[in-house]
Structure 1
Amino acid sequence: MLQTTAALILFLFPLAYSPGPGNLFFAANAARFGFAATVPANAGYHLATWVVTAAIGFGFVTALDRAPQLFAVLKTAGSLYVLWLAWKLLRAEVLKGAQAPQPASFASGAALLVLNPKAYVIIALMFSQFLEPDAPGTAAPVLWITTVFTLNNLLAFTVWALAGGSLAKLFRTSGGARSLNVLFGVILAGVAVWMLLS
Structure 2
Amino acid sequence: MVEQTAVLGVASVALGMVLSPGPNMMYLISRSTSQGRRAGVISLAGVAAGFLVYLVGANLGLAVLFAALPGLLAVIRFAGALYLLWLAWQTIKPGGVSVFASRDVPPEPPRRLFLMGLMTNLLNPKIALLYISIIPQFIVLDRGSVLLQGTLLGCVQIAVALLVNLAIVLAAGGIAGFLADRPSWLRAQRLAMGSLLAVLAIMLAVVPQGATS
TM range (shorter): 0.5 to 0.7
- Give the TM-score, by structure 1 length: 0.58
Partner residue in 1 for 2:106: none
Partner residue in 2 for 1:191: 196
Indicate yes or no: 2:142 matched with 1:128.
yes
**CA distance in structure 2 between the partners assigned to 1:40 and 1:87 by the alignment:** 30
Identify unmatched segments of 5+ residues in structure 2.
33-39, 104-116, 204-213
What is the CA distance between 1:80 and its match in structure 2?
Answer: 0.8
**CA distance in structure 2 between the partners assigned to 1:39 and 1:184 by the alignment:** 26
Q: % of aligned pairs identical?
A: 6
Matches within 5 A, 1:38-187: 38=44, 41-60=47-66, 63=69, 65-66=71-72, 68-69=74-75, 71-87=77-93, 90-92=96-98, 105-106=120-121, 107-108=123-124, 109-114=126-131, 117-122=133-138, 124-125=139-140, 128-131=142-145, 142=147, 146-173=150-177, 174-176=180-182, 178=183, 181-187=186-192
What is the CA distance between 1:24 and its match in structure 2?
Answer: 3.4
Q: Deviations over 1:69-104 (max 9, x none)?
A: 5643443134213432554994338x998xxxxx99
Residue identity in the other structure for 1:160? V
Partner residue in 2 for 1:26: 18
Residue identity in the other structure for 1:25? M
Residue identity in the other structure for 2:159? L
- Give the TM-score, by structure 2 length: 0.55
Give the alignment's Cα RMSD to 1 decimal.
4.3
What is the CA distance between 1:163 and its match in structure 2?
Answer: 2.8
